[in-house]
Amino acid sequence: MSQTLMLGAVAYDPKVVTIWEGFRDWFARHDFDFDFVLYSNYERQVRGHFEGAFDLAWNSPLAWIQTERIARSRGRSARAVGMRNTDRDLTSLVVVRADSAIERLEDLRGKVVAVGARDSPQATLIPLNHIARAGLEPGRDFEVREFDVLVGKHGDHVGGERDAAKALAAGEADAACMIDFNHMMFGKEGTLEPGTTRILSRTEAYDHCVFTVLDDAPGELIERFSALLLGMSWDDPEVRPLLEMEGLKEWKPGRTTGFDQLNEACNRLGSIDEFVESLG
Protein backbone atom coordinates (compact mmCIF):
# COMPACT_ATOMS: atom_id res chain seq x y z
CA MET A 1 0.00 0.00 0.00
CA SER A 2 1.30 3.42 -0.92
CA GLN A 3 2.02 5.69 2.02
CA THR A 4 1.08 8.73 -0.06
CA LEU A 5 -2.57 9.73 -0.03
CA MET A 6 -3.50 10.87 -3.53
CA LEU A 7 -6.31 13.36 -4.12
CA GLY A 8 -8.17 13.93 -7.37
CA ALA A 9 -9.47 17.46 -7.99
CA VAL A 10 -10.76 19.50 -10.91
CA ALA A 11 -8.82 22.55 -12.12
CA TYR A 12 -11.77 24.93 -12.50
CA ASP A 13 -9.52 27.94 -11.83
CA PRO A 14 -5.73 28.57 -11.77
CA LYS A 15 -5.90 29.10 -8.00
CA VAL A 16 -6.65 25.39 -7.59
CA VAL A 17 -2.93 24.64 -8.06
CA THR A 18 -1.98 27.16 -5.38
CA ILE A 19 -4.61 25.79 -2.98
CA TRP A 20 -3.62 22.14 -3.17
CA GLU A 21 0.11 22.82 -3.23
CA GLY A 22 -0.41 24.83 -0.06
CA PHE A 23 -2.37 22.04 1.59
CA ARG A 24 0.26 19.52 0.50
CA ASP A 25 2.97 21.58 2.20
CA TRP A 26 0.83 21.95 5.33
CA PHE A 27 0.22 18.21 5.52
CA ALA A 28 3.95 17.59 5.06
CA ARG A 29 4.70 19.77 8.07
CA HIS A 30 2.40 17.44 10.01
CA ASP A 31 4.28 14.33 8.81
CA PHE A 32 1.59 13.29 6.37
CA ASP A 33 2.47 12.44 2.77
CA PHE A 34 -0.21 13.95 0.57
CA ASP A 35 -0.27 14.74 -3.14
CA PHE A 36 -2.84 15.48 -5.82
CA VAL A 37 -3.65 15.03 -9.50
CA LEU A 38 -5.75 17.57 -11.39
CA TYR A 39 -8.38 16.89 -14.03
CA SER A 40 -9.94 19.15 -16.63
CA ASN A 41 -13.48 17.99 -15.81
CA TYR A 42 -15.41 15.95 -13.27
CA GLU A 43 -16.35 13.13 -15.62
CA ARG A 44 -12.67 12.34 -16.21
CA GLN A 45 -12.08 12.59 -12.48
CA VAL A 46 -14.91 10.17 -11.66
CA ARG A 47 -13.60 7.75 -14.28
CA GLY A 48 -10.09 8.07 -12.82
CA HIS A 49 -11.39 7.31 -9.35
CA PHE A 50 -12.81 3.96 -10.47
CA GLU A 51 -9.61 3.23 -12.37
CA GLY A 52 -7.62 3.62 -9.14
CA ALA A 53 -5.75 6.76 -10.21
CA PHE A 54 -6.12 8.30 -6.74
CA ASP A 55 -7.54 7.52 -3.31
CA LEU A 56 -9.75 10.51 -2.50
CA ALA A 57 -11.85 12.81 -4.69
CA TRP A 58 -12.80 16.43 -4.08
CA ASN A 59 -16.17 16.11 -5.75
CA SER A 60 -18.84 18.51 -6.86
CA PRO A 61 -22.32 17.48 -5.69
CA LEU A 62 -23.06 16.11 -9.16
CA ALA A 63 -19.80 14.15 -9.19
CA TRP A 64 -20.74 12.71 -5.79
CA ILE A 65 -24.04 11.46 -7.24
CA GLN A 66 -22.28 10.06 -10.30
CA THR A 67 -19.78 8.25 -8.09
CA GLU A 68 -22.39 6.92 -5.69
CA ARG A 69 -24.62 5.61 -8.49
CA ILE A 70 -21.76 3.98 -10.39
CA ALA A 71 -20.46 2.36 -7.19
CA ARG A 72 -23.92 1.03 -6.36
CA SER A 73 -24.34 -0.41 -9.85
CA ARG A 74 -21.05 -2.27 -9.37
CA GLY A 75 -22.01 -3.63 -5.98
CA ARG A 76 -19.62 -1.26 -4.29
CA SER A 77 -20.03 1.73 -1.99
CA ALA A 78 -18.87 5.32 -1.71
CA ARG A 79 -18.88 7.62 1.30
CA ALA A 80 -18.20 11.26 2.08
CA VAL A 81 -15.43 11.96 4.59
CA GLY A 82 -15.35 15.76 4.69
CA MET A 83 -16.80 19.03 3.44
CA ARG A 84 -16.50 22.77 4.00
CA ASN A 85 -18.75 24.56 6.47
CA THR A 86 -19.84 26.59 3.44
CA ASP A 87 -20.99 23.43 1.64
CA ARG A 88 -23.92 22.97 4.02
CA ASP A 89 -27.48 24.27 3.77
CA LEU A 90 -27.21 26.35 0.62
CA THR A 91 -30.12 27.62 -1.46
CA SER A 92 -30.61 28.66 -5.05
CA LEU A 93 -32.84 31.45 -6.27
CA VAL A 94 -35.15 32.19 -9.16
CA VAL A 95 -34.65 35.90 -9.72
CA VAL A 96 -36.70 38.37 -11.79
CA ARG A 97 -36.35 42.06 -12.52
CA ALA A 98 -37.77 44.31 -9.84
CA ASP A 99 -40.35 45.81 -12.20
CA SER A 100 -41.48 42.43 -13.57
CA ALA A 101 -45.15 41.47 -13.44
CA ILE A 102 -44.10 37.91 -12.52
CA GLU A 103 -45.22 37.24 -8.94
CA ARG A 104 -45.14 33.44 -8.61
CA LEU A 105 -43.52 30.48 -10.28
CA GLU A 106 -46.71 29.73 -12.23
CA ASP A 107 -46.25 33.09 -13.98
CA LEU A 108 -43.13 31.71 -15.68
CA ARG A 109 -45.35 29.72 -18.05
CA GLY A 110 -44.41 30.70 -21.58
CA LYS A 111 -41.44 32.77 -20.36
CA VAL A 112 -37.67 32.50 -20.81
CA VAL A 113 -35.63 31.31 -17.84
CA ALA A 114 -31.86 31.78 -18.01
CA VAL A 115 -29.65 29.22 -16.27
CA GLY A 116 -25.95 28.45 -16.00
CA ALA A 117 -24.10 25.52 -17.55
CA ARG A 118 -26.30 22.49 -18.15
CA ASP A 119 -24.36 20.48 -15.53
CA SER A 120 -24.47 23.15 -12.80
CA PRO A 121 -26.33 21.83 -9.74
CA GLN A 122 -26.85 25.27 -8.21
CA ALA A 123 -27.64 27.38 -11.29
CA THR A 124 -29.49 24.85 -13.45
CA LEU A 125 -30.44 21.40 -12.16
CA ILE A 126 -31.74 22.19 -8.67
CA PRO A 127 -33.62 25.40 -9.57
CA LEU A 128 -35.17 23.82 -12.69
CA ASN A 129 -36.34 20.93 -10.55
CA HIS A 130 -37.70 23.47 -8.06
CA ILE A 131 -39.76 25.10 -10.81
CA ALA A 132 -40.90 21.69 -12.04
CA ARG A 133 -42.15 20.85 -8.54
CA ALA A 134 -44.48 23.85 -8.94
CA GLY A 135 -46.00 22.22 -12.02
CA LEU A 136 -44.00 23.72 -14.90
CA GLU A 137 -41.87 21.34 -16.93
CA PRO A 138 -38.63 22.81 -18.30
CA GLY A 139 -38.62 23.03 -22.09
CA ARG A 140 -42.34 22.38 -22.30
CA ASP A 141 -44.02 25.03 -20.17
CA PHE A 142 -41.20 27.56 -20.36
CA GLU A 143 -38.06 28.06 -22.43
CA VAL A 144 -34.74 27.25 -20.78
CA ARG A 145 -31.82 29.33 -22.00
CA GLU A 146 -28.56 27.65 -21.00
CA PHE A 147 -25.24 29.46 -20.75
CA ASP A 148 -22.86 26.53 -21.19
CA VAL A 149 -19.59 27.97 -19.94
CA LEU A 150 -16.96 25.28 -19.22
CA VAL A 151 -19.28 22.27 -19.20
CA GLY A 152 -17.67 19.47 -17.21
CA LYS A 153 -16.77 21.70 -14.30
CA HIS A 154 -20.29 21.38 -12.87
CA GLY A 155 -20.82 25.09 -12.35
CA ASP A 156 -17.67 25.58 -10.25
CA HIS A 157 -16.76 28.21 -12.82
CA VAL A 158 -19.50 30.83 -12.38
CA GLY A 159 -19.19 32.26 -15.90
CA GLY A 160 -22.42 30.70 -17.13
CA GLU A 161 -24.25 31.76 -14.01
CA ARG A 162 -23.00 35.32 -14.47
CA ASP A 163 -24.05 35.27 -18.13
CA ALA A 164 -27.55 34.19 -17.08
CA ALA A 165 -27.71 37.15 -14.70
CA LYS A 166 -26.57 39.47 -17.49
CA ALA A 167 -29.31 38.12 -19.77
CA LEU A 168 -31.88 38.91 -17.09
CA ALA A 169 -30.53 42.44 -16.64
CA ALA A 170 -30.54 43.02 -20.41
CA GLY A 171 -34.16 41.91 -20.76
CA GLU A 172 -33.18 38.83 -22.76
CA ALA A 173 -34.71 36.53 -20.14
CA ASP A 174 -37.68 36.85 -17.83
CA ALA A 175 -35.98 35.09 -14.92
CA ALA A 176 -32.56 33.74 -14.02
CA CYS A 177 -31.38 30.98 -11.69
CA MET A 178 -28.38 31.31 -9.40
CA ILE A 179 -27.06 30.34 -5.99
CA ASP A 180 -27.88 32.83 -3.23
CA PHE A 181 -24.24 33.76 -2.63
CA ASN A 182 -23.70 34.64 -6.26
CA HIS A 183 -26.85 36.76 -6.32
CA MET A 184 -25.24 38.90 -3.64
CA MET A 185 -21.87 38.87 -5.41
CA PHE A 186 -23.42 39.91 -8.74
CA GLY A 187 -24.99 42.86 -6.95
CA LYS A 188 -21.70 43.92 -5.40
CA GLU A 189 -19.74 43.64 -8.64
CA GLY A 190 -22.35 45.42 -10.74
CA THR A 191 -23.51 42.52 -12.90
CA LEU A 192 -26.93 43.12 -11.34
CA GLU A 193 -27.37 46.73 -10.28
CA PRO A 194 -28.63 47.00 -6.68
CA GLY A 195 -32.40 47.28 -6.48
CA THR A 196 -33.01 46.09 -10.04
CA THR A 197 -33.91 42.47 -9.19
CA ARG A 198 -35.97 40.61 -6.65
CA ILE A 199 -36.18 37.00 -5.51
CA LEU A 200 -39.19 35.21 -6.97
CA SER A 201 -38.57 31.89 -5.24
CA ARG A 202 -35.95 30.08 -3.17
CA THR A 203 -35.20 26.36 -3.22
CA GLU A 204 -35.04 24.15 -0.17
CA ALA A 205 -31.60 23.88 1.42
CA TYR A 206 -29.05 21.50 -0.08
CA ASP A 207 -25.38 20.57 0.33
CA HIS A 208 -22.47 21.02 -2.07
CA CYS A 209 -18.92 19.61 -2.41
CA VAL A 210 -17.65 16.55 -0.52
CA PHE A 211 -14.44 14.57 -0.20
CA THR A 212 -15.37 11.14 -1.52
CA VAL A 213 -13.76 7.73 -1.06
CA LEU A 214 -14.62 4.30 -2.44
CA ASP A 215 -14.72 1.12 -0.39
CA ASP A 216 -11.14 0.17 -1.32
CA ALA A 217 -9.60 3.41 -0.03
CA PRO A 218 -6.61 3.01 2.34
CA GLY A 219 -8.36 3.20 5.71
CA GLU A 220 -5.49 4.37 7.90
CA LEU A 221 -4.49 7.13 5.49
CA ILE A 222 -8.08 8.34 5.17
CA GLU A 223 -8.48 8.41 8.95
CA ARG A 224 -5.26 10.39 9.34
CA PHE A 225 -6.27 12.79 6.56
CA SER A 226 -9.69 13.33 8.13
CA ALA A 227 -8.22 14.00 11.56
CA LEU A 228 -5.76 16.55 10.19
CA LEU A 229 -8.41 18.16 7.99
CA LEU A 230 -10.87 18.64 10.84
CA GLY A 231 -8.03 19.97 12.99
CA MET A 232 -7.23 22.86 10.64
CA SER A 233 -7.87 26.15 12.41
CA TRP A 234 -8.93 29.51 11.00
CA ASP A 235 -6.66 31.03 13.67
CA ASP A 236 -3.58 29.29 12.22
CA PRO A 237 -1.77 31.96 10.13
CA GLU A 238 -0.24 29.27 7.92
CA VAL A 239 -3.50 27.63 6.93
CA ARG A 240 -5.91 30.57 7.00
CA PRO A 241 -4.96 31.93 3.54
CA LEU A 242 -5.61 28.47 2.05
CA LEU A 243 -9.00 28.23 3.75
CA GLU A 244 -9.87 31.68 2.43
CA MET A 245 -8.95 30.71 -1.13
CA GLU A 246 -11.00 27.51 -0.85
CA GLY A 247 -13.95 29.45 0.56
CA LEU A 248 -14.36 28.09 4.07
CA LYS A 249 -13.65 28.80 7.72
CA GLU A 250 -13.92 25.26 9.03
CA TRP A 251 -13.85 21.72 7.67
CA LYS A 252 -16.79 19.55 8.70
CA PRO A 253 -17.38 15.78 8.63
CA GLY A 254 -18.89 14.63 5.36
CA ARG A 255 -22.61 14.05 5.11
CA THR A 256 -24.81 12.94 2.23
CA THR A 257 -28.25 13.89 3.52
CA GLY A 258 -28.34 17.15 1.55
CA PHE A 259 -28.47 15.74 -1.97
CA ASP A 260 -32.14 14.75 -2.28
CA GLN A 261 -33.04 17.67 -4.53
CA LEU A 262 -30.14 17.05 -6.88
CA ASN A 263 -30.92 13.34 -7.04
CA GLU A 264 -34.51 14.22 -7.92
CA ALA A 265 -33.31 16.69 -10.56
CA CYS A 266 -31.05 14.06 -12.13
CA ASN A 267 -33.93 11.59 -12.24
CA ARG A 268 -36.29 14.16 -13.74
CA LEU A 269 -33.90 15.63 -16.30
CA GLY A 270 -31.85 12.50 -17.07
CA SER A 271 -28.73 14.60 -17.07
CA ILE A 272 -26.23 11.94 -15.95
CA ASP A 273 -27.88 8.69 -17.09
CA GLU A 274 -25.65 8.12 -20.12
CA PHE A 275 -22.42 8.75 -18.22
CA VAL A 276 -23.42 6.55 -15.27
CA GLU A 277 -24.49 3.74 -17.57
CA SER A 278 -21.17 3.94 -19.44
CA LEU A 279 -19.26 3.18 -16.22
CA GLY A 280 -21.87 1.17 -14.31
Looking at the structure, tell me whether residues 175 and 108 fall in a common domain.
yes
Domain membership of residue 270 as a residue range: 5-87+207-279
pTM value is 0.96
In total, how many domains does the chain have? 2
Give the pLDDT confidence score for residue 54 in this predicted structure. 98
Question: Which of 186, 202, 218 corresponds to the end of one domain?
Answer: 202
pLDDT per residue over 61-72, tens digit each?
Answer: 999 999 999 999
| Residues 8-23: tens digit of each pLDDT | 999 999 999 999 999 9
Which pLDDT score, from 0 to 100, does residue 5 have?
98
Whether residues 253 and 198 share a domain: the answer is: no
Q: Contact at 8 Å (CB) between 127 and 93?
A: yes
pLDDT of residue 111: 98
Does 34 share its domain with 101? no
Same domain? For 141 and 176 the reply is: yes
Q: How does residue 1 score in pLDDT terms, banded at 50, 70 and 90?
A: very low
pLDDT bracket for residue 2 (50, 70, 90):
low
The domain that holds 123 is classified in CATH as 3.40.190.10
The per-residue b/e assignment along 136-162, b for 16 or more CB within 10 angstroms, e otherwise, is bebeebbebbbbbbbbbbbbbbbebbb
Taking each helix axis from N to C end, the angle separating 260-269 and 126-133, rounded to the nearest 10 degrees, works out to: 80
Domain end residue (candidates: 179, 202, 225): 202
For residue 219, pLDDT beyond 80? yes
pLDDT digits (tens, 9 = 90+) for 194-218: 999 999 999 999 999 999 999 999 9
Q: Which of 161, 176, 202 is the last residue of a domain?
A: 202
Could you tell me how far CA 175 lies from the centroid of its own chain? 21
The pLDDT of residue 243 is 97
- The answer on 197 and 96 residing in a single domain is yes
Mean pLDDT across 115-138 = 98
37/280: higher pLDDT: 37
Round to whole Å and give the CA distance between 28 and 24: 6
**pLDDT at position 62:** 98
State the pLDDT at residue 271. 86
- Residue by residue, DSSP assigns 19-45 as HHHHHHHHHHHTT--EEEEEESSHHHH
- Answer whether residue 183 shows pLDDT above 60: yes
CA distance 178 to 125: 10
113 contacts 135 by C-beta, under 8 angstroms:
no
